[in-house]
Amino acid sequence: MSTLKADTIVASDGSSPVTLTKQVAAKAFLDYNQTTDVVNKSFNISSVTDSTTGDFTSSFVSSFDDAFYPLGTLAGETSVNASNRIFGPPIRATGNIRTFIGYVSSTGGNIILSDNQINDFIIHGDLA
């Protein structure tokens, strides 16, 4: 058995990053605190625009080849409504994703948009 050790692996041109092929690696992720408008950690995210309460758009550095990419999400809060936070149906595009966050009202079951402290997503799919 051989061991390969390297600090940096580049494409054959000597400067580009190696392209992942036939692998199911995350192509984008975000950990965002909308209450303070701070991106804690991200990958393939060029910017996050806080549009209004519970509504933000994340733009990708490298676009996806279509808007049907698999998406895993988490919405959380450390306030009184922590147990019923929801990550609403996003609006997906190849170059960005618009996200809606809120909670279910205790009276009537209505969804109320709300800024969250914990907004995480991870996206798999093919880049353009």
* Residue 12 within any structural domain of the chain: no
* Residue 21 within any structural domain of the chain: no
pLDDT-above-90 percentage for the chain: 45
* Residue 10 within any structural domain of the chain: no
Q: Work out how many domains the chain is built from and give that number.
A: 1
Section 5-16 average pLDDT: 78
6 pLDDT tier (thresholds 50, 70, 90): confident
* Residue 18 within any structural domain of the chain: no
> Tens digits of per-residue pLDDT, 42-97?
999 999 999 999 999 999 999 999 999 999 888 776 665 555 677 888 999 999 99
Range of the domain at 100: 28-123
DSSP for the chain, written as a single string: ------S--B-TTSSSBPPP-S----SEEEEEETTTTEEEEEESEEEEEEEETTEEEEEESS-BSSS---EEEEEE-SSTTGGGEEEPPPEE-SSEEEEEEEEE-TTTT-EEE---SEEEEEE-S-B-
* Residue 110 within any structural domain of the chain: yes
* Residue 16 within any structural domain of the chain: no
pLDDT-above-70 percentage for the chain: 89
Any idea which of 3-7, 21-25, 63-67 has the lowest mean pLDDT? 21-25
Q: How far is CA 80 from CA 44, 84, 92, 95, 116, in A?
A: 33, 9, 30, 35, 12
* Residue 8 within any structural domain of the chain: no
* Residue 33 within any structural domain of the chain: yes
